[in-house]
Structure 1
């Protein structure tokens, strides 16, 4: 099937993008408003864009009404700082709940039940229990013509890495159970390999569907849920 992207509206194009670009790493972003209110947001349009200096990129959409800028973006824009915390399975519930569109005066650390840890070089706190946290200062902000969609580049000014996973200058990712995004659902990274694989392993994997671990059926899709929003927000 060929789908002409010019025939798609934004929601339709978004559904195809999030089902095609998988798995996507999740930046669990912590920010702080100019009034000191903590905010959390999972961002899965996220990647690294530089090494020296190290930089990351976040793509941030408006809220589910399609018109209002997200609090996390406003905090990043107004303070010039944010922290990218690594999303892992032990914190999947508060991470998922942090996509709820809370009111701006609600401290989302308290609302989703995670504790704050002071950052070293930026004002926004990092998330206690996150094994890796990248403290960032805004490098550039790019705005789409509609003024509602933004890309943020942040320079990583400090890496916080839990002591037990820092080995000879690298991170022991095998000990982390990192969580990624599949369309509107999640996956936990629980295997690793270096090619080539043996023929018997390749034969075993060929055509095999992903194994669901949430007891939903094989044909389940969170995107089909009537409460699903292309903003990434979830219902309380």
Structure 2
């Protein structure tokens, strides 16, 4: 079988892409509006963009559902404030993350809605998720408009990791972290690790 993207509806192509590029890590992005309202939202189009300087990128699509035709709060906040935090999502925070993904009005604080604890960052204004074992403070480097989406590239300015998740020599204990991943419309729990035979 083969599919020409030009002959498919956007949603049809999205289903094929999101079911093929898996598992995807989740960036739980905290930002703040110019009015001072905190925002927290997950994005699974997320990866490392550069090693030196350390940069991360997320892709933010247009508003959906009743907010179709609008810009998502996260994008608006990053455009205005030029800062954000990427919090990593372990499996035990999955329900809270899902709550923060709901289409809530812009004046609602997702930290409160998801019963999470905001804590001060050190180099940026947006808060970090205290319950997340890994938090990465970022300053905006560039926003690239790509079709219907916006690619956000952020420079990592401070990396936080809870000591229980740190292994010596700058390694992360992935077996303890058990990061949540995205599989099309479902999720995956990453905890089975193995080395390929030589």
SS of the residue aligned with 2:29?
strand
Corresponding residue for residue 141 of structure 1: 143
Alignment check: 8 A CA contact 2:31 2:84 kept? yes
What displacement does 1:57 show?
0.8
Range moving further from structure 2, 61-70 or 42-51: 61-70
Structure 2 unaligned residues grouped into runs of 5+ = none
* Distance in 2 of aligned mates of 1:144 and 1:193: 36
Alignment-derived partner of residue 73 in structure 1: 75
Q: 2:174 touches 2:191 (CA, 8 Å); kept in 1?
A: no
Q: Which segments of 5 or more consecutive residues in structure 1 lack a partner in the other structure? A: 198-236
User: Which one has the bigger strand percentage?
Assistant: 2
Alignment of 1:30-109 (within 5 A): 30-64=30-64, 65-109=67-111
Q: Count residues with an aligned counterpart.
A: 195
Once the two structures are TM-superposed, the CA of residue 9 in structure 1 deviates from its matched residue by 1.6
1:94 counterpart SS class: helix
Question: Normalised by the size of structure 2, how large is the TM-score?
Answer: 0.95
Q: Deviations over 1:66-107 (max 9, x none)?
A: 310000110011000010000111111010111111111111
Q: Distance in 1 between matches of 2:146 and 2:166?
A: 38
Q: Distance in 2 between matches of 1:12 and 1:163?
A: 43
Query: What is the match of residue 170 of structure 1?
Result: 171
Work out which of the residue numbers 118, 121, 124 in structure 1 matches 2:120: 118
Separation of aligned partners in 1, 2:22 and 2:146: 24
Structure 2 residue 130 is matched with structure 1 residue 128: yes
SS at match of 2:112: helix
TM-score (normalised: structure 1): 0.80
Secondary structure in structure 2 of the residue aligned to 1:15: helix
Residue 193 of structure 2 is matched in structure 1 by 192
Q: Equivalents in 2 of 1:158, 1:67: separation in Å?
A: 34
How far apart, in 2, do the equivalents of 1:98 and 1:108 lie? 5
CA deviation profile, 1:163-194 (whole Å, cap 9, x unmatched): 12222221111111110000011010111011
Q: 1:18-42 CA distances to partner (integer Å, 9 max, x unpaired)?
A: 0000000000111111111111111
Query: 1:11 corresponds to which residue?
Result: 11
1:172-222 C-alpha deviation (Å, 9 max, x unpaired): 11111110000011010111011118xxxxxxxxxxxxxxxxxxxxxxxxx
> Residue 121 of structure 1 aligns to a residue in which SS?
coil
| 1:219 aligned residue | none
In angstroms, what is the RMSD of aligned CA positions? Answer: 1.2
